[in-house]
Amino acid sequence: MMFQRRPSSDPLWTDEFSVETAKERYVTRRQFSKFLVLTSFGMLAGNLWILIRSLRYRPSVYPAIPVARLGEIPVGGVKQFRYPAAEDTCLMVRTGPDRYVAYSQKCTHLSCAVIYSQANNRLECPCHDGYFSVDDGRVLQGPPPRPLPKVMLEQRGDELVAVGLDRNAEL
Amino acid sequence: MERQQPRLQRQGLTAIDGAISLIVILLMVQMWLLTAALEALLAGHHETALPAALISGVIFSACWVLFLFVDKIDADVRQR
């Protein structure tokens, strides 16, 4: 009599395989709040990482590289060049007889290559229809969160020389 | 006395649910803060990192205090 099974609605096999899955999956409010606090700690760690990156930041020193000759491209024309490194492609646009502007070609959204649209006089990203002003690189439309980095140009003799990159270029 | 027990438990659960709701709201603010700080870092605005980290620390402390509150209420309700 001692070994008789107690009346229960559970199937017989649960006695032999005593895995209490339902109880194991049950999460108490205390456990849940502990998980939330750990998530909060993770985000604090992320903010601290950003702070450390900011404190260790040193302004970059850019080389001076000749990128074009005066009059080499027509008004409304475009020239592609690489600055400051060989893998960083940039676009120079001649917007007027004496006016040249240059920007990084990487869209600030997902790094697709932007192209110059002469018809609309703007820089366009074909991936997600992000548009940038050709005058100052600011975002006109679309998902890009930041303006295009602007390449600083200097005229030296009859040459245009890239001397720096302004990543904060915005109005 | 026996009828008071479920009432106390209910009150305790309500307090815990309120605290968890507050923690969730604070987490959403902290998540927004983290994305904004990262966005500012990528845009080259390094001056925003310190205030963002400080506020994130304050939010984490508030979450921690709320967790202690939940823990205490939970322990109280279980003891009675």
Q: If DSSP states are collapsed to H, E and C, what string results for A10-36?
A: CCCHHHHCCCCHHHHHCCCHHHHHHHH
Contact A146 B46 (CB under 8 A): no
Is there a single domain that holds both residue A106 and residue A160? yes
Is there a single domain that holds both residue A133 and residue A160? yes
Pull the structure tokens for residue A31: 């456990």
Average pLDDT over residues A90-96: 94
Please report the beta strands in A45-127, taking only residues with DSSP state E, as ranges in sequence order. Answer: 65-69, 78-82, 89-96, 99-104, 115-117, 122-125
pLDDT of A10:
73
Cα–Cα distance measured from residue B58 to residue A40, given in angstroms and rounded to the nearest whole number: 11
C-alpha Rg value of chain A to the nearest Å: 30
Average pLDDT over residues A135-139: 92
Is there a single domain that holds both residue A49 and residue A72? no
pLDDT of A14:
72
pLDDT of A19:
66
Is there a single domain that holds both residue A106 and residue A29? no
Shortest Cα distance, chain A CAs vs residue B77, angstroms: 12
Average pLDDT over residues A86-92: 93
Residue B16's contacts (CB-CB under 8 Å, 6 or more residues apart) are A29, A30, A33, B70, B73, B74
Residues of A in contact with B52 (CB under 8 A): 47, 50-51
How many CB pairs (< 8 A) connect A and B? 98
Contact A37 B63 (CB under 8 A): yes
Is there a single domain that holds both residue A43 and residue A91? no
A residues 110-139 near B, CB within 8 Å?
A: none
Is there a single domain that holds both residue A120 and residue A144? yes
* Partner-chain residue, chosen from A36, A48, A53, that has the shortest CB–CB distance to B41: A53
pLDDT above 70 covers a percentage of chain A that reads: 88
User: Which residue is associated with the tokens 């074909």?
Assistant: A126
Owning domain of residue A18: 13-55
Is there a single domain that holds both residue A83 and residue A38? no
Provide the CA A8 distance to its chain's centre, in angstroms: 59
pLDDT of A44:
97
| A155 belongs to a structural domain | yes
In the 8-state DSSP scheme, what is residue B47? Answer: G
Encoded amino acid at B72, one letter: K
pLDDT above 90 covers a percentage of chain A that reads: 65
Average pLDDT over residues A4-31: 70
- Residues of chain B contacting A, Cβ within 8 Å: 13, 16-17, 19-20, 23-24, 26-27, 30-31, 33-34, 37-39, 41-47, 49-50, 52-53, 56-57, 59-60, 63-64, 66-67, 70-71, 74
| A7 belongs to a structural domain | no
Cα–Cα distance measured from residue A59 to residue A62, given in angstroms and rounded to the nearest whole number: 9
| Contact status, residue A152 vs residue A162, Cβ threshold 8 Å | yes
Contact A37 B43 (CB under 8 A): no
Cα–Cα distance measured from residue A103 to residue A169, given in angstroms and rounded to the nearest whole number: 10
C-alpha dihedral, A101 to A104 to A109 to A111, nearest 10° = 150
ipTM score: 0.88
Q: What's the number of domains chain A is made of?
A: 2
A18 touches chain B (CB under 8 A): no
Q: Over 50: is that where the pLDDT of A171 sits?
A: no
Is there a single domain that holds both residue A90 and residue A48? no
CATH assignment of the domain containing A77: 2.102.10.10
The residue among A93 and B39 whose pLDDT is bigger is A93
| A100 belongs to a structural domain | yes
Residues of B in contact with A139 (CB under 8 A): none
Cα–Cα distance measured from residue A136 to residue A147, given in angstroms and rounded to the nearest whole number: 8
| A171 belongs to a structural domain | no
Is there a single domain that holds both residue A106 and residue A28? no
The residue among A98 and A39 whose pLDDT is bigger is A39
- pLDDT band at A58, cuts 50/70/90? confident
Q: Over 90: is that where the pLDDT of A134 sits?
A: yes
| Contact status, residue B70 vs residue A30, Cβ threshold 8 Å | yes
Average pLDDT over residues A102-129: 94
User: What residues of chain B score a pLDDT lower than 50?
Assistant: 1
Is there a single domain that holds both residue A75 and residue A153? yes
